[in-house]
């Protein structure tokens, strides 16, 4: 919550609303969309930036690691975008935050990498699904960005 408060202060309260939520929980996503609709009425851009990282080589991937990463990185993104559609304007944009790891092999990162490859596939399919509404869908695939998540990953 403190990080959100700092962001609001830096950006300016007039331009942003901070809403703490867990992208892996559909009830949280519903709550976020209700707040946005009430406060802003509509969206022009959805930037789906949900993601957690975890490492394990193929022979030792626990089910909990798989479920946790897929719940946030894939399920969270899919349902965030789906639940935003009623308030996303025709001609709007959906931007998915993938990763270069969705295209290259990284030791111990097969689960994370698979989730980021899934986002590229979502973008291709949703472009066709949403063409009648003229909604653009793109997937960014940046390399490593200095974030707390990447720093703790080593």
DSSP annotation of 104 reads S
Nearest to 68 by CA among 56, 82, 80, 84: 56
How many residues are recorded in the chain? 154
Instruction: Considering the candidates 112, 113, 122, 137, report the single residue annotated as catalytic.
Output: 112
The yes-or-no answer on residue 112 being catalytic is: yes
Tokens of 135: 């909604």
Residues 105, 128: Cα–Cα separation, whole Å = 28
Enzyme catalytic residues: 112
């Amino acid at each position: 919550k403190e990080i959100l408060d700092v962001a609001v202060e830096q950006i300016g309260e007039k331009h942003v609303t901070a809403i703490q939520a867990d992208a892996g929980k559909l009830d949280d996503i519903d709550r976020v969309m209700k707040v946005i609709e009430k406060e802003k009425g509509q969206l022009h851009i959805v930037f789906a930036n949900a993601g957690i990282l975890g490492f394990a080589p193929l022979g030792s991937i626990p089910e909990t690691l798989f479920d946790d990463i897929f719940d946030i990185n894939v399920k969270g993104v899919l349902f965030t975008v789906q639940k935003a559609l009623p308030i996303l304007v025709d001609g709007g944009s959906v931007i998915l935050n993938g990763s270069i790891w969705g295209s290259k092999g990284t030791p111990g990162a097969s689960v994370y990498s698979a989730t980021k490859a899934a986002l590229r596939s979502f973008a291709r399919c949703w472009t066709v699904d949403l063409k009648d509404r003229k909604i653009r869908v793109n997937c960014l695939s940046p390399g490593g960005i200095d974030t707390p998540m990447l720093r703790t990953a080593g």
